[in-house]
């Protein structure tokens, strides 16, 4: 199964707590804007938009590791039909199981813990593939290849179908909403739709890691600065000379949400650091 790739890095600068009484913060994380810069890359259009955010958290339960993919941090929920069958992108015969199966509404959202939530009373699929609605079903296939007259066994992975899913917001803990200024008003700007009719553009929501494992296990208060590096091969094409701001929020491991903050308005040129 191929999951979504995140095209950015995360660097953390931690304000360490020394041998004194730790500060007292609320258990819910709190953030404040620190800085934003754009660092051009080697390519003509690529570069990194680095957003720095100050944070604090009273019980230190912030950060997700790459191994945190189980409930409630799983990547997505699956969509099943009224027969409890997975809803696939295409109907009819599927070569991997040989069954002729049609999706029968109503559809239900199924989480890994077994929770079921009504999703759709009708089959609302448009017939168009979008990355935000489907995941790939991949199987390993063994085949024999003629190499200089000798048959050699080879195994490769093939995409055999795609199944309907809904992204789990709790899979990430750092959320950015780009806003573009149009006629004096800031409106949502979805980077997933830029240059993509299948919503397969770049998604800049992601994760920052656990900063200090011992501090995390002890449940101590923590504060610091997150330098969030959003790298894109097409930054200059996406943002051009338009004016933007970014709305930001984070979430801790207990799924407590922080306050939402906004960057000052900017253009890439105004924040470029050579």
User: Which residues, in sequence order, are CB contacts of 271 under 8 Å at separation 6+?
Assistant: 36, 37, 38
- The string over 3-21, giving b where at least 16 C-beta atoms fall within 10 Å of a residue's C-beta and e elsewhere, is ebeeebebebeeeebeeee
19-52 pLDDT per residue, tens = 445 567 899 999 999 999 999 999 888 999 999 9
Read off the pLDDT of residues 126-141 as tens digits, 9 standing for 90 and up.
Answer: 778 888 889 887 777 7
Count Cβ atoms below 10 Å from residue 205 Cβ, excluding itself.
17
pTM score above 0.85: no
Q: How does pLDDT run across 223-243, given as a tens digit for each residue?
A: 999 999 999 988 898 898 999
Tell me the CA end-to-end span of the chain in Å, nearest whole number. 40
Per-residue pLDDT at 19 = 41
Higher pLDDT, 24 or 111: 111
Q: For the residues of 158-196, what is the DSSP string, one character each?
A: EEEEEEEEEE-GGG-SEEEEEEEEETTEEEEE-GGGTT-
């Amino acid at each position: 199964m191929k999951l979504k790739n995140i095209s950015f890095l995360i660097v953390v600068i931690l304000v360490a707590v020394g041998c004194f009484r730790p500060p007292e913060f609320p258990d819910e994380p709190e953030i404040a804007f620190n800085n934003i810069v754009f660092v051009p890359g080697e390519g003509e259009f690529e570069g990194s938009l680095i957003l720095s955010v100050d944070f604090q958290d009273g019980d230190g339960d912030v950060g997700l590791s790459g191994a945190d993919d189980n409930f409630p941090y799983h990547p997505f929920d699956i969509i099943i039909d009224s027969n409890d069958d997975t809803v696939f992108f295409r109907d009819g015969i599927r070569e991997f199981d040989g069954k002729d199966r049609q999706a029968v509404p109503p559809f239900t959202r199924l989480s890994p813990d077994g929770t079921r939530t009504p999703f759709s009373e009708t089959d609302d699929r448009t017939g168009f593939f979008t990355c935000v609605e489907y995941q790939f079903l991949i199987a390993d296939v063994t085949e024999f290849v003629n190499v200089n007259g000798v048959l050699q066994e080879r195994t490769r992975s093939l995409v055999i179908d795609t199944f309907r899913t809904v992204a789990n917001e709790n899979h990430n803990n750092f959320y950015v909403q780009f806003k573009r200024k149009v006629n004096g008003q800031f409106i949502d700007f979805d980077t997933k739709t830029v240059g993509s009719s299948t919503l397969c553009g770049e998604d800049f929501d992601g994760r920052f890691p656990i900063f200090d494992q011992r501090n995390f296990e002890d449940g101590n208060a923590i504060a610091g600065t997150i330098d969030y590096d959003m790298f894109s091969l097409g930054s200059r094409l996406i943002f051009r000379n338009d004016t933007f701001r970014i709305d930001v929020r984070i979430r801790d491991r207990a799924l407590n949400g922080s306050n939402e903050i906004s960057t000052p308005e900017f253009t890439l040129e105004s924040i470029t650091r050579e």
